[in-house]
């Protein structure tokens, strides 16, 4: 195989075999920040175009920078629009995360954008990174290498978790904790029974259909706990939250205890 920044389906194969993986969201619109996350040892990076600071042009630099450390890039697109998905696929990403889809029918339609005709409706071109700029037209026959990650972040999507997991092309069910907890009426309360039951339903739906399950957690201990429960596509924070938390903690340790400035009078 020629040297390439493409993942060639390795991440998808690892997850299909049940291997647990750990990654992080990158949204600072900085290739250096993405490189730092890759250098730190992440199994994958999740470039966030839904809430991140940059647009799809970030994939142009993130993919090769992360790949130089052997780390694949998955992209959360802004929407399930065909053009949004197709453009980042042409930039050579290893997979697509689809947000805010509430039904199996919506997911089925979005998955068509990951496949070339006749199986789908992805635009066909070879002068891009995904086809090594015209040097590898056989890449058009390897569309099955793309990882499909579908978010479960609403009560409606939760109700169809089993049907979504059953779809060909869905490789990972991924819980968005904030979105799902808000939609379930317990915003940010991750200890609430209704939220914990939702997590278990997603995990079981994925397992029943041989798919991976993933979610976002704030730190290493939380990731270890979810890994022990069987979650295999775990995101630990993001480039910005990890930086902010680390610096905040360091500053807290470095500064003296606040003094009592209350005046005393004799």
Check the CA dihedral 11-25-193-185 and report its sign: negative
Give ∠ CA 87-179-192 in degrees, rounded to 5.
Answer: 150
Distance CA 214, CA 255 (A): 38
Q: How many helices (H) and strands (E) does the chain have?
A: 11, 8
234 forms beta bridges with 22, 215
Q: Which of 51, 113, 182, 209 is catalytic?
A: 51
Contact, 128 vs 93, CB < 8 A? no
Strands (E), 30-182: 44-48, 73-76, 95-98, 147-152, 172-175
Give ∠ CA 208-15-92 in degrees, rounded to 5.
Answer: 130
Distance CA 140, CA 137 (A): 6
Distance CA 42, CA 22 (A): 6
Contact, 50 vs 84, CB < 8 A? no
Active site residue 182: no
Tokens representing 266 are 């004799």
Burial class (CB in 10 A: 0-12, 13-18, 19+), 222: middle
Q: Hey, which residues are catalytic here?
A: 51
């Amino acid at each position: 195989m020629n040297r390439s920044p493409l993942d060639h389906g390795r991440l998808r194969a690892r997850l299909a075999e049940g291997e647990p993986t750990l990654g992080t969201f990158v949204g600072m619109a900085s290739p250096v920040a993405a490189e730092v996350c890759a250098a730190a040892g992440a199994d994958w990076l999740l470039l966030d175009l839904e809430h991140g600071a940059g647009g799809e042009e970030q994939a142009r630099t993130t993919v090769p920078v992360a790949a130089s450390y052997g780390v694949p890039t998955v992209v959360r697109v802004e929407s399930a629009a065909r053009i949004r998905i197709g453009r980042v696929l042409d930039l050579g990403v290893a997979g697509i995360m689809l947000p805010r889809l509430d039904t199996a029918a919506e997911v089925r339609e979005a998955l068509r954008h990951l496949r070339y005709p006749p199986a789908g409706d992805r635009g066909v071109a070879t002068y891009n990174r995904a086809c090594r700029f015209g040097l590898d037209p056989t890449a058009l026959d390897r569309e099955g290498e793309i990882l499909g990650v579908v978010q479960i972040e609403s009560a409606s999507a939760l109700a169809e978790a089993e049907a979504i997991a059953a779809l060909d092309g869905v490789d990972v069910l991924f819980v968005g904790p904030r979105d799902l907890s808000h939609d379930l009426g317990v915003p940010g309360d991750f200890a609430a029974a209704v939220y914990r039951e939702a997590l278990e339903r997603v995990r079981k739906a994925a397992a029943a259909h041989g798919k991976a399950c993933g979610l976002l957690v704030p730190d290493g201990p939380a990731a270890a706990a979810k890994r022990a429960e069987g979650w295999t596509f775990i995101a630990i924070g993001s480039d910005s939250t990890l930086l902010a938390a680390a610096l905040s903690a360091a500053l807290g340790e470095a500064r003296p205890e606040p003094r009592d400035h209350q005046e005393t009078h004799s």
